[in-house]
Structure 1
């Protein structure tokens, strides 16, 4: 028997489960998510989990601001913790040009209703005492910055989507996506064929391969990204509060508190491509 649904979402990471949840918020009940393994089994489970509103694209910044505010509501709907840590964050500027850019971002945020501010070196040290401000001219402070548990957040989206009427099937790889003359799609799985009005590619690391099933080439290449988790840091223990996020664009690095230590990540220029 061929199954019919309004939409199929391929991929059970945080993006796929968010799309599924938002479809139910729009009143779509006949929606289905297919995941080849378990939810969060791609890149979601080991993401660093940071969130912020700073983005050169106004629409993306607004979307990020909306999502950050959504997490509390999501916890209430699902009863599932997202592991939220709203600690605030600083983005550092070491040149007049970068500081001007952050000032422009602040002006944009004001227009969007986001309460960021420009702070100087003394205030940076007060709020983020681990930061060495030598050569730093200022920073953008964003009180919405923080981090969460990516796995917990994904499961919160999934549970809220199920409450809204959606269906999730794990251990169900998609083998083919074939267009039909009426504009719908055949989604072929080991358990049978599903006819969907719409198909959403939320394959993450495998988005290129999912696109190829439909004959679409997506110029995507997942890249390896490293971060390290420290042991207990005495300065963190002595602080008595959670240290804010710190983003250093010049150093292409970031840090945040993890337990009684730190997570420190780097965006390497000479990074290695990763492809399944």
Structure 2
């Protein structure tokens, strides 16, 4: 384990691994990642893995579009399967006002070079027969939406970063941070070992608040419980795949706060509990 590094990244989820990868891609190779257990041991390993390019902020939308293309790049470079599926996605509008929002998103996406198309519900149901079109007034289709395997993506990032000189330390808890007068940091671990770093990145995810408290910061980060379910294999899914030769597109129902996508021969459906 190194005694000094230019950057120490705390947290081995997909965000921490992405930071490590992008630092090395920018030429910062004297960097390390410290993870308390194994890579993806926090919330990353059971994330639904959806990839969406629609966002109210055009800069975030552009970043999301960049990420979709990046996953293909790191999969090829690392040899790690990222489980990339790009069947496209349907964003559903339940009201005329929501439909206007999607039209605005399409116009913004066109400016950013995205491939989006407004559809009638008849056209949307032709793409995904599981839809019940009577509850919606229109849809926006994005051909670049899909899903990935978060475990595979995280390891692909880490492999690429290590190939460029980064180091990854698992089963290593960060127990404290000491800010030196010169602005550098001592990253204290449970291995009776301290790493001196110019910069520290807090990628602790669920534990980001605890990491912040190590240096006197109270971060407004709270864990939010979220559930998704997966059906048994469905005849409708199997028949669609056989007939169409492709996977079902994703669905996002904004009003219902529901997303759904194909997983194998089943449907993965996630939802957020609404206040009554």
Shift of 1:117: 1.3
SS at match of 2:236: helix
Instruction: Return closer, same or farther for 1:175/1:99 CA change in 2, 3 Å cut-off.
Output: same
Query: Shift of residue 190 of structure 1?
Result: 2.0
SS at match of 2:82: coil
| Alpha-carbon distance in structure 2 between the residues aligned to 1:33 and 1:175 | 14
Q: Does 2:120 align with 1:116?
A: no
Question: Is residue 245 of structure 2 the alignment partner of residue 244 of structure 1?
Answer: no
**Which residue of structure 2 aligns with residue 199 of structure 1?**
200
CA distance in 1, matches of 2:174, 2:275: 34
Residue in structure 1 matched with residue 210 of structure 2 by the alignment: 209
Aligned residues: 271
CA distance in 2, matches of 1:149, 1:43: 13
Deviation sequence 1:211-239 (CA, Å, 0-9, x none): 11111011111111011010011100111
Q: Within 5 A, what are the aligned runs for 1:144-155?
A: 144-155=144-155
Deviation at 1:128, TM superposition (A): 1.0
The question of 1:218 aligning with 2:219 is answered yes
Higher mean displacement: 2-11 or 254-263? 2-11
Q: What is the correspondence of 1:91-130 to structure 2 with a 5 Å cutoff?
A: 91-130=91-130
Structure 2 gaps, min length 5: none
Any idea what SS the aligned residue of 2:5 has? strand
TM-score, length of structure 1 as denominator length: 0.96
Q: Secondary structure at the match of 2:135?
A: coil
Note the C-alpha offset of 1:2.
Answer: 7.8
Task: Give the gaps of 5 or more residues in structure 1.
Answer: 272-276
Please state whether the residue corresponding to 1:17 is helix, strand or coil: helix
What's the secondary structure of 1:175's corresponding residue? strand
Q: Which residue of 1 aligns with 2:44?
A: 44
For residues 209 and 123 of structure 1, the distance between their equivalents in structure 2, rounded to whole angstroms, comes to: 49
1:6-45 to 2 correspondences below 5 Å: 6-45=6-45
Aligned equivalents of 1:21 and 1:133: distance in 2?
43
Q: Distance in 1 between matches of 2:71 and 2:7?
A: 24
**1:164: Cα distance to partner?**
1.1
CA distance in 2, matches of 1:59, 1:6: 28
Find the aligned partners of 1:177 and 1:58 in 2 and give their Cα distance: 36
Deviation at 1:149, TM superposition (A): 0.6
Match status 1:253 vs 2:254: no
The CA deviation at 1:269 is 2.5
Q: Post-superposition shift, 1:142?
A: 0.7
- 1: CA distance between counterparts of 2:259 and 2:190? 42
Partner of 2:271: 266
**What's the secondary structure of 1:75's corresponding residue?**
helix
- Partner of residue 274, structure 1: none
Computed over aligned residues only, the root mean square deviation of the Cα atoms, in angstroms, reads 1.3
Query: In the alignment, what sits opposite 1:166?
Result: 166
Instruction: Report the equivalent of 1:178.
Output: 178
Measure the CA separation in 2 of the matches of 1:193 and 1:226: 38
| Separation in structure 2 between the aligned mates of residue 222 and residue 200 of structure 1, nearest angstrom | 19
CA distance, structure 2, for counterparts of residue 71 and residue 209 of structure 1: 30
| Corresponding residue for residue 133 of structure 1 | 133
Q: Alpha-carbon deviation of 1:270?
A: 5.0
**What per-residue deviation string (whole Å, max 9, x for no partner) do you get for residues 14-64 of structure 1?**
000000000000001100000000000000000011011111111111111
